[in-house]
Amino acid sequence: MRIVWLFLSPLIALVAGVLLLGLSRKIMARIHWRYGPPLLQPVIDIIRLFSQRSASHGILFDLGIVVSLAGSLIITLFLPFGNIAPLSGSGGMLVILYMMLIGPLGIALSGGESGNPNASIGISRNLMLAIGYEVPLLMVLLAVMTRYGTISIVEIVRVQQASTWSIASWPLVVSGLAYLLVMPAMLGFRPFEVVQAPQEISSGPMVEYGGSYLALVSIQHALSLYITISLFVNLMLGGSGNIVIFLFKMLVVFVLFLFVNAVFPRFRIEQAVRYLWRWPTLIGLIGLVLVALVGR
Amino acid sequence: MMVELLLIVAFGGSLLTYVLGKLSSRLRNGFALLNALALVIMIGMLYGQEFERSLPFGFLGIQFSIRMNMLSWFFAATILGIGLLAVLYSFRYMKGKERLDYYYFTLLFINASMLGTVVAGDLLSFFIFWEMMSWSTYLLISLRGGGKAIFAGIKYIIMSLVGSLAMLVAIVSLYTAFGTVDIGELAVHMQSASLGLALLVVILFSITFVIINALWPFHTWLPDAHAEAVSPFSAILSAVLVRKGLYGLFLLMYVILGFSFLDRLAVGAISFSNVLAWIGAITIVFAAFRALLQNDSKRILAWSTVGQGGYMVLGVSVATSMGMAGGTFHILNHCIYIALLFFVAGAIEHRTGGIRDLDSLGGLIKKMPVAFVGGLVGIFGLIGLPLTNGFVSKWLIYKSLILEGRPFLAFAAFLGTWGTILYGYKFIHNIFLGQLPDELRDVKRVPFTMAVPIMVLVVLVFLFGVLPGIPLSVVNQVGTYMGFEPLDLNVWGIPSESGTLNVVNLLAAIAVAGFLVWLLFKTLGRSTRVDQSDNYAAGAAIPRGRYGFTREFYAPLYRIVSPYVKDFPDALFLWIADRTKALGGMTRKIYSGYVGSYVMYIVLFLAALVFVQLTWSPW
Amino acid sequence: MDRNQLIKWLEAPAKMGHKYSLHAVYFCTGCGIIEVPPSITARWDAERFGVLPTASPRQANLFLITGYVSVKTLKAIIRTYEQMPEPKYTVGFGSCPINGGMYWDSYNTIKHLDKYIPIDGWIAGCMPRPEAIFVAVTHLWTLIDKDMADGYKRYRKYYSQYRANQEKVLLGLEWPPLFPIEAG
Give the start-to-end residue ranges of the domains of chain B.
Answer: 568-616
Terminal Cα distance for chain B, rounded: 58
Integer CA distances (angstroms), B208 to B161, B175, B205, C161, in order:
9, 18, 5, 77
Partners of residue B65 on adjacent β-strands:
B54
**Nearest residue of A to residue C21, measured between CA atoms:** A45
Complex-level ipTM: 0.91
Report the distance separating Cα B17 and Cα A291, nearest Å.
Answer: 61
* CATH number, span C13-170: 3.40.50.12280
Residue type, C133: I
- Nearest CA of chain C to the CA of B426: how many Å? 25
Give the integer Cα–Cα distance in Å for C154 and B123.
Answer: 85
Confidence at A283, pLDDT banded by 50, 70, 90: very high
pLDDT of residue C183: 58
Continuous H helices in A51-91? 59-78
End-to-end CA distance of chain A: 35
Give A90's pLDDT tier (boundaries 50, 70, 90).
Answer: low
pLDDT given at position B500: 65
Assign A164 a pLDDT band (cuts: 50, 70, 90): confident
Given a cut of 80, whether residue A191 has pLDDT beyond it is yes
Q: Which among A10, A115, A151 has the least Cβ separation from residue B434?
A: A115
Spatial separation of the C-alpha atoms in residues B396 and B489, rounded to whole Å: 12
- A88 confidence band (pLDDT: 50, 70, 90): low
Give the helix/strand (H/E) hosting B62: strand B62-68
pLDDT in tens, C111-164: 888 888 899 888 888 888 888 888 888 998 889 888 888 888 888 888 888 888
- Regions of chain C short of the pLDDT cut 70: 1, 183-184
Instruction: For residue B147, give the 3-state DSSP assignment.
Output: helix
Q: Please check whether residue B322 is in contact with residue B396, taking contact to mean a CB–CB distance below 8 angstroms.
A: yes
Residue C11: Cβ within 10 Å count: 9
Helix A92-113 to helix B407-432 angle, to the nearest 10 degrees?
20
Q: Do C174 and B541 touch (CB under 8 A)?
A: yes
Cα–Cα dist B222/B141, whole Å: 10
SS (H, E, C) B220-271: CHHHHHHHHCCHHHHHHHHHHHCCHHHHHHHHHHHHHHCHHHHHHCEECCEE
Contacts of residue A214, defined as CB under 8 A and 6 or more positions apart, other chains included, come to A49, A54, A206, C58, C59
Contact, B544 vs A255, CB < 8 A?
Answer: no
Of C80, C173, C176, the CB nearest to B539: C80
Contacts A58 to B, Cβ<8 Å: 365-366, 529
Q: Region A82-92: what's the mean pLDDT?
A: 68
Per domain, the residue ranges of chain C are 13-170
Chain A residue at shortest CA distance from B396: A94
CB contact under 8 A, B425 and A149: no
d(CA B610, CA B77): 64
The torsion region of residue A259 among left (phi > 0), alpha (psi -120 to 50) and beta comes to alpha
* C58/B538 touch (CB, cutoff 8 Å), yes or no: no
φ, ψ of residue C85 in degrees (nearest 5):
-75, 145
**Residues of B with CB below 8 A from A114's CB?**
535
Residue C10 — φ and ψ, nearest 5°? -70, -35
Q: Print the domain residue range for A19.
A: 2-294
Q: C87: cis peptide before it, omega within 30°?
A: yes
The low-confidence residues of chain B, meaning pLDDT below 50, are none
Task: Write down the H helix ranges in B526-589.
Answer: 555-561, 568-588
Residues from chain B contacting residue A202 (CB–CB below 8 Å): 536, 538
Cβ distance of C80 and B540 shorter than 8 Å: no
Q: Which residue in chain C has the smallest CA separation from A32?
A: C42
SS3 content of chain B, % helix, strand, coil (to 5): 70, 5, 25
Say which residues have a Cβ less than 8 Å from residue B448's Cβ, sequence separation at least 6: none
Question: How far is residue C92 from each of residues A93, B591, C132, measured CA to CA in Å?
Answer: 54, 92, 12
Residue of B281, B142, B151, B157 lying closest to B211 (CA atoms): B157
- Which residues of chain B are at the C interface, by a Cβ-Cβ cutoff of 8 Å? 531, 533-534, 536, 538-541
Task: Measure CA A57 to chain center.
Answer: 27
DSSP strands (E only) in chain A: 53-56
CA dihedral of B266, B269, B271, B277, whole degrees rounded to 10: 170
User: Could you tell me which residues come within 8 angstroms of residue A218 by beta carbon, excluding any fewer than 6 positions away?
Assistant: A21, A42, A45, A46, A49
DSSP string, B23-52: H-HHHHHHHHHHHHHHHHHHHHHTTT--EE
- CA B546, chain centre distance (Å): 37
Given this model, what pLDDT does residue B201 score?
84
Residue A44 amino acid letter: I
B456: part of which helix (H) or strand (E)? helix B448-466
Whether omega before A38 lies within 30 degrees of 0, making that bond cis, reads no
Q: Residue B489: what pLDDT?
A: 75
pLDDT over 80 at A193, yes or no: yes
Answer whether C17 sits within 8 Å of A47, measured CB to CB. Answer: yes
Nearest CA in chain A to C45: A34
Strands B501-502 and B493-494: antiparallel
**Three-state DSSP class for A10?**
helix
Report CA-CA distances (Å) from A168 to A172, A174, A230, B132, B545.
7, 10, 18, 62, 57
Using left for φ > 0, alpha for ψ between -120 and 50, and beta otherwise, residue C172 falls in left
Pair B174, B130: CB distance under 8 Å: no
> How far apart, in Å, do the first and last CA atoms of chain C sit?
50
Candidate from C56, C77, C79 with C-beta closest to B541: C79
Helix (H, G, I), strand (E, B) or coil at A3: helix
Listed residue (A82, A92, A230, A140) closest to B395, CA to CA: A92
C-alpha dist (Å) from residue B485 to B311, B476, B480, B488, C45:
21, 8, 6, 9, 68
